[in-house]
Amino acid sequence: MKLKDILERCSYRMLQGDAETDIKELVYDSRKVVPGALFVCITGANFDGHAYIADSAEKGAAAFIVQKGCVPPELAFPEGAAVAETEDTRVALALASAAWFGYPSEKMPVIGITGTKGKTTTTYMIRSILEHAGCKTGLIGTIEAIIGEKHIPSANTTPESYAVQKYLREMLDAGCRAAVMEVSSQALMMHRTDGIEFELGVFTNLSPDHIGKNEHSSFEEYLACKRLLFRQCRTGIFNADDPHTPDMLEGHTCSVVTYGIDSPADLRAVEIDHVSRPGYLGVRFRLEGLYDLPVELDLPGRFSVYNALTAAACCAHFGIDGEAVRDALKDAKVRGRIEPVKVSDDFMLLIDYAHNAMALESLLTTLKDYNPGRLVCVFGCGGNRARSRRFEMGEVSGRLADYTIITSDNPRFEEPQAIIDDIITGIQKTGGKYTEIIDRKEAIAYAIRSGQPGDVIVLAGKGHEDYQEICGKKYPMDERVLIREILDEEALR
């Protein structure tokens, strides 16, 4: 493929060489440079691709895309290499990747979902409905990418633009007729979804999160980044009940569809009824508007209703039959999202990814609606993230849970005890009962051993994750495995 064809939708100027240069591979990681490659020099928090130009030239790179003002003045490009300069190489990488893979988003509808919480569950619900209706659907999200029968574990909610376009191309080649993906605020800020023509953009809800060093500088920036999706899609689907929906609509260029429970909307949930029996929590309701049918979810609470509404509103856009919607929602399950794990006939244990105050409050409030004997919350907070999250989550658990067991999450480069101390500062504002057990397995074991009839125990924060990150290294740690080990150990006592 010629350089000029790869850059056909980019704004650039040639500093050296010829745009007719033949390109054998597109890369943004210098370690993957091969003879004839185009190396896109992007910058990150801890690296600058421009520092690897000489190394890439030695490996045979045929062309480079550089960012204006970022090339070291002393650097001399190899003779014969093509060099294109752009204002932003992240934008260039996204648009070049779309061209390299043949603009896959123009060949099938792509659904992008943004919001503080609900993105993961909703993507799986949408995929479930579309597949029930006979539409093979790919998925990109926090847990994994699903391409046909292939499941690829994820490192980011939304991967780098090259990977996104590669996955979309592979989905097409695997016979997928649609794709659904989570679109994080970071991805929008870093142009990872530039070059995608979204058929649908979806807004779930918004609350302060991902604000701090190496994330967003303010809530206003966080909101502004999420809002970008609605200038990049044909139709936007919005939560009419969320107070930030008017902000998200500012500057939108898409047509608008709404869903909700309390507000007037194109699709509403009415007659909501919580369903509870030993070992089971669920919810029944009726869809009204775009669909008119009863629905039952094997998932608890109001936030599950919102997720189902979001998914149903998306599928209504494609004319999916109501029966497929109802059946698929009944079957929808997501790893690490209010996931029940059988440990006793007397009480329930759930695993959930709730890792910020809004998500934890929503989760605990939902579970309290089922009137458990006790609501026990086991959680920690990640290190090297906004410190305020620890105080807020401690206060939420202290206020809503009957008992809190504070433990470690992913301490990263911080001392676990220091994180726990911050959580305790928050919980002490409430007078809530708590204990601290720094080792997560020991904390879970304590929760199980002290479980009482009618209790609901929730392990919050890790969800689908199967590791614990300590000092830059990820150690295997899956809560399901820990639970099995604990139960085996108890059986041997």
Average pLDDT over residues 122-143: 96
Between residues 298 and 279, the one the model is more confident about: 298
CA 292, 294, 297, 301 dihedral sign is: positive
Asked whether the predicted pLDDT for residue 104 surpasses 70, the reply is yes
Distance CA 38, CA 163 (A): 16
Q: Is the Cβ–Cβ distance between 273 and 285 less than 8 Å?
A: yes
Give the bridge partners for 83, in sequence order. Answer: 16, 64
Domains of the chain in start order, with CATH, are 3-100 (3.40.1390.10), 104-331 (3.40.1190.10), 339-492 (3.90.190.20)
For 229-283, the pLDDT digits (tens) are: 999 999 999 999 999 999 999 999 999 999 999 999 999 999 999 999 888 899 9
Lookup: tokens for 173: 């080649």
pTM: predicted TM-score of the whole model, two decimal places:
0.89
Distance in angstroms (rounded) separating the CA atoms of residues 173 and 287? 35
Q: Write the pLDDT tens digit of every residue in 359-374.
A: 899 999 999 999 999 9
Which two structure tokens, joined as six digits, stand for 295? Answer: 């629905």
| Residue whose token pair is 């009944």 | 330
Average pLDDT, the chain: 94
pLDDT of residue 78 exceeding 90, the answer is no
pLDDT of residue 384: 92
Both tokens of 210, joined, read 């991902």
pLDDT in the model for residue 44: 77
Identify the H or E element spanning 242: none
Cα–Cα distance, 337 to 77 (Å, whole number):
50
* Nearest CA-CA partner of 45 in 194, 189, 141, 219: 189
Amino acid occupying residue 408: S
pLDDT for res 216: 54
Tell me the C-alpha distance between 489 and 493, whole Å: 7
What 3-state class would DSSP assign to 32? helix
Q: Residues for the chain: how many in total?
A: 493
For 145-176, what is each residue's pLDDT tens digit? 999 999 999 988 889 999 999 999 999 999 99
Q: Residue with structure tokens 């070049």?
A: 96
Structure tokens at 189: 């800020």
Confidence of residue 210 (pLDDT cuts 50, 70, 90): low
Residues 38/3, Cβ–Cβ less than 8 Å? yes
4-46 confidence digits (pLDDT tens): 999 999 999 999 999 999 999 999 999 999 999 999 999 877 7
How far is the C-alpha of 217 from the C-alpha of 117, rounded, in Å? Answer: 20
pLDDT, tens digit, 9 for 90 and up, residues 187-199: 998 999 999 999 9
Give the 3-state secondary structure of residue 107: coil
Report yes or no: 288 and 272 within 8 Å, Cβ to Cβ: no
Tell whether the model's pLDDT for residue 124 goes beyond 90.
yes
pLDDT(404) > 90 = yes
Q: Where are the alpha helices (DSSP H) in 264-321?
A: 302-317
